[in-house]
Structure 1
Amino acid sequence: MSICGLLVNGTTGEGLSLNVQERKQLAEEWLCQGKDKLDHVIIHVGALSLAESQELARHAAAVGATGIAVLAPFFFKPTNKDELIAFLQKVASEAPAVPFYYYHIPPLTAVKIRVEELLDGITEQIPTFRGVKFSDTDLLDLAQCINKNEREQFTFLYGVDEQLLSALAIGADGAVGSTYNYLGQKNNLMLQAFAKPDLALARKYQFLTGEFLNFVTKLGFGVAQTKAVMTFVSGIPMGPPRLPLVDASEEFIIKAKAKLESIVWPDSD
């Protein structure tokens, strides 16, 4: 596995803070820039408004997305599997030829319907269903999903970066996360070590990634701070976040940069 695709208009991309036209423009630009370079460009089309989500799904299909993803509505929330699937089905049906992924992120949506339960018979209602972006620490739920659905060949992409190695060990197919925007090379090396398998080396990479994330989390680490790290690592200005988020402080940037530079990675010994 390596970095071979991306998810557009997700959490780090502040997709839910953008209007519909902005989300369309970003989807189009990423599909243009990723042509012949990326294997997968999955467009997140989730919204609180079903009509907006359907509009974004139709647009993603029209401009050639390789997949669409939808998170659960998080103001008026579904309270059970059937309500959630009904919403997802209404969106998926607007892009009937595009692979569909459920974006499971209960820490932000507070929708805690277990994915294991959700997957039972889901292809009967959503024929295009292909997998889950699983952004939760409940590895028991993820393991049960993988164990029970091998014959369906669903794809499980893990979204809690500091626990990726644990997810890989129980069968996750890959990952989608913000950390890979600035530590992508290091995580590729971890994936290579895991595949050999050289678990001791893979653990070193995971522990060092966790060391950085643990440090910045104590300082207050969210989307705005992630954008700041991406900026000083890449040299590409990521711009300010949208309100109610505010820019990372200079103190945070100085401390985070110093911490990242202090880490001695196995490949640099």
Structure 2
Amino acid sequence: MFAKTIGLIAAPHTPMDASGDVRLDRIDDQIDLLVSNGLAGAFVCGTTGEGPSLTTSERMAVAQRWAAAAPEGFRVIVHVGHQSLRDSRDLAAHAAGCGAFAIGSMPPTFFRALGTDDLADYLAHVAAAAPNLPFYYYHIPSMTGADVPMRDLLAATALRAPSLAGMKFTHQDIADFAACLALDDGRYDCLFGIDEMLLSAVAIGARGAVGTTYNFAAPLYGRLIDAFERGDIQTARACQQQSADMVAIGKRYGPFTAVSKAMMRILGLD
């Protein structure tokens, strides 16, 4: 067993040079920034980290650098989802070997699992490649097209994958998220994945979250959570609105992954 996540986990960008080559040397600076802002960990090589666009060897190198450079107690969750199940399993085994805290996986997006049981079977194969690491399902139907009720998927996957820890829930269906939080007396570590809706998740019991804007705006969300816990709902709402405005303005200029990279460059990280 492991302690559930309390706090914010960044979804970091993968640093690259102008030619698109990965800059492993910049990862240490990313970690320093996240630690200084009180982040609980990093979800590496996911959507923000452009994991699906990297080669398997690049993803392994990125995961290894994060795991090696992260301080004790900083949770490095490595996304291992891939179109190839064999590559996904190789990434999972590699993450275990290099000392990652956990692995996570979205499903394939081309030949898709068509239902809850098929998807649970697939996830069990991935999780089995790193049986001693906590396993998180990465629910992001806007990118994968896989949109089954997450409460049902957690229950089905738990029967097949003993290492199932929870999920990264990147979807607006707050009722489904609430059902996941309540399942099996709150057994699962359910990490909310929409930054501009964080207050809604915190209000129904979320303790952990994963997001892009936590890379550069973590203090804002820290104030949001602190205000909510003090019962200062007006301040919490104001912080959430500032978050929503920030994301909306950013999206005017293009895909948010690219826009958020520009924001990181302002902080001296690219």
In the superposition, the TM-score normalised over structure 1's length comes to 0.83
Q: Does 1:112 align with 2:117?
A: no
Amino acid at match of 2:49: G
Q: 1:61 aligns with which of 60, 77, 96?
A: 96
Partner of 1:203: 237
Picking from 70, 81, 91, the partner of 1:34 is: 70
In 1, distance between residues paired with 2:108 and 2:196? 26
99-108 or 167-176, larger mean C-alpha shift: 167-176
User: Which amino acid in the other structure matches residue 240 of structure 2?
Assistant: Q
Q: Say if 2:264 is the partner of 1:230.
A: yes
Offset at 1:173?
2.2
Shift of 1:59: 0.3
Distance 1:197 1:33 in 2: 37
Pair 1:168 & 2:176 matched: no
Following TM superposition, by how much is the alpha carbon of 1:121 offset from its aligned partner in structure 2, in angstroms? 4.2
1:6 corresponding residue in structure 2:
42
Partner secondary structure for residue 158 of structure 2? helix
Q: Which runs of 4+ in 1 moved over 6 A?
A: none
- Give 1:171's aligned amino acid: G
Q: What is the SS of the residue equivalent to 1:75?
A: coil
How many equivalent pairs are there?
234
User: What is the match of residue 97 of structure 1?
Assistant: 132
TM-superposed CA distance for 1:108, in Å, is 0.5
Look at both structures and tell me which one has the larger radius of gyration over its CA atoms: 1
Q: Which runs of 5+ in 2 are unaligned?
A: 1-6, 9-38
- 2:226 equivalent in structure 1: 192
Shift of 1:217: 2.1
Tell me by how many angstroms 1:147 deviates: 2.5
- How far residue 221 of structure 1 moved from its aligned partner, in angstroms, is 3.3
Deviation at 1:207, TM superposition (A): 0.7
The answer to whether 1:180 aligns with 2:217 is no
Moved more, 181-190 or 54-63: 181-190
Q: What amino acid does structure 2 have at the position aligned with 1:206?
A: Q
Tell me, yes or no, if structure 1 residue 18 matches structure 2 residue 54. yes
2:105 aligned residue = 70
- What is the rounded CA distance, in whole Å, between the counterparts of 1:82 and 1:121 in structure 2? 7
**Residue 254 (structure 1) aligns with:** none
Task: Return the offset for 1:143.
Answer: 1.3
Cα distance change of structure 1 residues 149 and 218 upon mapping to structure 2, 3 Å threshold:
farther
Question: How much has 1:216 moved relative to structure 2?
Answer: 2.1
Give the superposed CA RMSD. 1.3
Q: What one-letter code is carried by the residue in structure 2 that aligns with 1:52?
A: D
**Identity across aligned pairs (percent)?**
38
